[in-house]
Amino acid sequence: MAAIATRTTLLADGRELIYFDDADTTLGPDRRADARTLDPRPDTATMRQDVLTGDWVSIAASRQNRVFLPPAELDPLAPASPTNPSEIPDVYDVAVFENRSPSFGPLLTDENAPEGVDDLGNLGMGRTRRSVGRCEVVCFSPEHEGSFADLSESRARTVVEAWAHRTAALSAMPGIEQVFPFENRGQAIGVTLHHPHGQIYAYPYVTPRTTSLLRSIESYGPTLFADLLENERGGPRVVLAGEHFTAFVPFAARWPIEIHLLPHRHVPDFAGLTDDERDELAIMYRRLLRGVDALYGDPTPYISAWHQAPVNVGRDTVRLMLQITSPRRAETRLKFLAGSEAAMGAWIGDLVPEAQADLIREAIERS
């Protein structure tokens, strides 16, 4: 969408900042430079392998120093002012910048970086690798509070464009194996900033969840996503359907609130979406989130996770998929992951998925 302009600059410590201007923006093209004096960026963290599972754990101690629920006048994601030298030096519509306290990066290459997925798949005691990669913050709005649901249609479309732009750019960087855009919303999820924003992680490995998915595709066959969508579109769990996307409560939902969304054709990630698909997605995603908030009449905590195909494997079989999950099982009750779920990964659902789909459909209509 050519009308959404991108403007790239650098922050005072060398981190990249990209402005995305709405198609109907009122902002001019110029932006102030970052005038702060900043400490050097933290060293890139180290990953350690769990020999019991083969999973890799990034030990990122610099994250201990990140900002925790600051007042509005000290919002680090608001446009900078004389009394608030924030991360974004000027006014903006949507802004994306490298995280100051990343779990992966800032290095993309290193002598102890992973040597591909085969290297990471080997198992041994005391194995470490550098946590190369990149972590970015996506600011949906200059406002201090809110979420994607509160955005205008034009702004929502700008955010979708930013996700597509960053997916393509990050996927092309050396050492990146998977790109994951997501939004955490609400203190019950662990959010440390009220500002409407999301994040993007560019991992140096294929994540455990996607590795399990690849095994399922190998077992079931390459039509897994097409067959899943066909099965759901004719069933009772669909909550919202459009020309290009369908949203549904999954058959084996784990969470009290869980919604999946799939494109009707195979597309591996945001970068592969057409303009028409991006237009519809901006509208449908906003409607889904407003429906989630309408379930109980006030903002619902959630994790909104955009699952994308890995960069180098599964491109023809893994389809872009949104998964919205929330621990809210009643107006004043949350589901906590206790012994069975947290320790054994054996889930027990609290609500019947078909009944929950009815409630979510009604909430979407009300919203």
Active-site residue list: 197
**What is the rounded CA–CA span in Å between residue 113 and residue 115?**
6
Give whole-number Cα distances, 144 to 25, 94, 101, 153, 338, in Å: 19, 13, 21, 19, 34
* Residue 322 one-letter amino acid: L
Beta strands in the chain (DSSP E): 5-10, 16-21, 46-49, 56-59, 94-98, 128-130, 134-139, 178-185, 197-203, 238-241, 245-248, 257-263, 302-307, 321-326, 328-330, 333-334
**What is the rounded CA–CA span in Å between residue 367 and residue 362?**
9
**What is the rounded CA–CA span in Å between residue 59 and residue 290?**
36
- DSSP single-letter state for residue 358: H
Query: How many Å is the Cα radius of gyration of the chain?
Result: 20
Nearest Cα to 149, choosing from 326, 20, 16, 21?
326
**What is the rounded CA–CA span in Å between residue 179 and residue 323?**
15
Nearest Cα to 351, choosing from 254, 261, 260, 259?
254
**What is the rounded CA–CA span in Å between residue 27 and residue 361?**
37
Nearest Cα to 134, choosing from 167, 95, 183, 85?
167
**What is the rounded CA–CA span in Å between residue 100 and residue 108?**
15
Give whole-number Cα distances, 66 to 62, 91, 165, 193, in Å: 8, 23, 26, 10
